[in-house]
Amino acid sequence: MLYEGKAKKIFATADADTVLVEYKDEATAFDGTKRGVIQSKGIVNNRMSAALFALLESEGVPTHFIKTIDGRSMLVKRLQIIPVEVVVRNRVAGSLATRLGLPEGTALRSPILETYYKSDELHDPMVCDSHILVMGWATPAQLQRIKELALRVNEVLRPFFLDRSLELVDFKLEFGLYKGEVVLGDEISPDTCRLWDIRTGEKMDKDRFRRDLGGEREAYVEVLQRIEGGVHDV
Ligand code: UDP
């Protein structure tokens, strides 16, 4: 094992260019101060990420995904992580509602893209382009590519989810370098996306855990089933 994070374990493989990602059921929120377990979350996040990475690859977005290994794990390219978290928003929610004093659910005329410095000690502060460039976290060309890819991911995923009666409210992406190229890494799951059911308005994501709404497992499994297009065992 190379690393154990809040929601994933990373293992080395015989190939120095690849690593194995294992998704855990443990859930954390509010900077790790709230902890719990969402049964089967690891399975949902692994299968959902695999499906979405494959979709994005087919739409021209380079990702770290290579193949699924088993229910909870996937083989990925070993990236040199760029320490910037990119959030794309289609509707006001979460920290944006708090920061700007806007009601959750307020529509946005076009997507908002935000960047945060990936640092647990500093609680992931929001940063702007100057910070990223001057600190040398990314070159101008890499930063431009990150933004272009993040907005492209939004363009691909929004209609994909809408076809499954889910609104993609916002999501977080991480990127890294692989052989000099900017590649999408990390995961795309109900842990990292806000997904609202378009008919009921129900939250189908980690806000169920953050806000003690209950039914986390059921919501995660429902999202996976809508993505996989049928009833598969979880
Ligand atoms: N997000 C994430 N990891 C983080 C922070 C945010 O995956 O460390 C996701 C979150 O699930 C949501 C989006 O990014 O889909 C925007 O999150 P926000 O800034 O509103 O923060 P939150 O209020 O969720 O902490």
C-beta 8 within 6 A of ligand 1:
no
* CATH code 3.30.200.20 for 3-77: yes
CA dist 134 → 32, 84, 108, 127, 128 (Å): 29, 13, 30, 11, 10
pLDDT in tens, 101-150: 999 999 999 999 999 999 999 999 999 999 999 999 999 999 999 999 99
**φ, ψ for residue 46, nearest 5 deg:** -65, -50
Residue 194: CB within 6 Å of ligand 1? Answer: yes
Domain ranges of the chain: 3-77, 80-215
| pTM for the model | 0.98
Instruction: Give the tokens for residue 71.
Output: 């229910």
Q: How far is the CA of 165 from the centre of ligand 1 (A)?
A: 21
Ligand 1 centroid to residue 171 C-alpha, Å = 7
Is the beta carbon of 114 within 6 A of some atom in ligand 1?
no
Q: Mean pLDDT across the stretch 50-73?
A: 98
Stretch 20-48: mean pLDDT: 97
How far does residue 95's CA lie from ligand 1's centre (Å)? Answer: 7
Q: Is 192 in the pocket of ligand 1 (CB under 6 A)?
A: yes
Tell me the average pLDDT across 205-230. Answer: 97
Rounded to the nearest angstrom, the distance between the alpha carbon of 30 and the centre of ligand 1 is 10
pLDDT greater than 80 at residue 232: no
Best residue among 8, 33, 95, 116 to mutate for probing ligand 1's pocket (most ligand atoms within 8 Å of CB) is 95
Pocket test for ligand 1, best of 33, 45, 87 (most atoms within 8 A of CB): 87
> Is the CB of residue 88 below 6 angstroms from any atom belonging to ligand 1?
no
CA distance linking residue 80 with residue 183, whole number of Å? 10
Q: Is the CB of 206 under 6 A from ligand 1?
A: yes
Which pLDDT score is estimated for 131?
99
Q: Which CATH architecture has domain 80-215?
A: 2-Layer Sandwich (3.30)
83-106 pLDDT, tens per residue? 999 999 999 999 999 999 999 999
Q: Cβ-count burial of 149 within 10 angstroms (0-12 exposed, 13-18 middle, 19+ buried)? A: buried
Say if ligand 1 is within 6 A of residue 23 CB.
Answer: no
Asked if 152 and 60 touch (Cβ cutoff 8 Å), the reply is yes
- What integer pLDDT is reported at residue 233 of this predicted model? 83
Task: Determine whether the shortest distance from the Cβ of 71 to ligand 1 is under 6 A.
Answer: no
Other CB atoms within 10 A of residue 152 CB:
15
pLDDT at 69 over 90: yes
DSSP string, 197-218: ETTT--B-STHHHHTT-S-HHH
